[in-house]
Structure 1
């Protein structure tokens, strides 16, 4: 996210050319990382509902500066909530685009609390969507390919990384249980 490596519509247009596309949530601004996580009405709603509105401004500046600012203003527990909030916003954004899900900011907030509380405060559990692999036939979630939850009694550890020329490498790790719930995560920039 902070290395501008996410596949936002603005990043895709900058990498391969073409038109900048609007945010799938609000359809009123170009979809940049900063907009998705900070400036969009969906993000603002999520941060307000999570009690993290301090430091949440508009679409000005860059994503790294915003995250660094927020990081210095939040307590360690609030930082954890912020990280899970970013993840849940991105997860929901992908469901809206790829699964044609309806826009549901309250669902994003519930997802954050479910991950943080491991279901303790909320009874609603959202199953993890299997990632689509490749293009065309055989890449959808019904084909048996792609990400699945771990077998009962096991955990699954997923690692991902991104490289941006001149800025370096970022990597992330997520550990999920047999229900697909995140047990812990780590990101390094």
Structure 2
């Protein structure tokens, strides 16, 4: 793109989120006494909003209407990917007509709208012996009414949830029940 004698390639443009990481990673590392790692099982997501410049990219919607479509769980149709797609389609002259250069300096700071800490899934595998036929493998709830007090699944996951401080779970239990899967005599399986 050429404006005021400057030539920029896509590789010359640094995304704001990358610049933010360059600044925030050392600050977090110093504060917590740990090394910040860009690829980790633990991720912190921060969403910012800058009301003053929030509408700066809205003109792109008139140029590329198919780029900005509502999606579930999105606060705005102006996502980073939608804006990038529109910027790739817009003609340079149209862009400069709608966007002032140099841009005016902001008078206010960004606000943190949302922050989430997430960890990649933890997979736990193991075996157990079930010594009671009165304890079901999974919770028995029929028509909203609990039929059994507890289950193997609940007894195991209750402790795992506490240890991992998890807020959700997905259980895949392979129940072989009374099926004999080893070469034993039939009488030993009954």
Normalised by the length of structure 1, the TM-score is 0.25
Indicate the structure whose relative CO is greater, using CA pairs within 8 Å and at least 6 residues apart: 2
Query: Larger helix proportion, structure 1 or 2?
Result: 1
| Larger Rg over CA atoms | 2
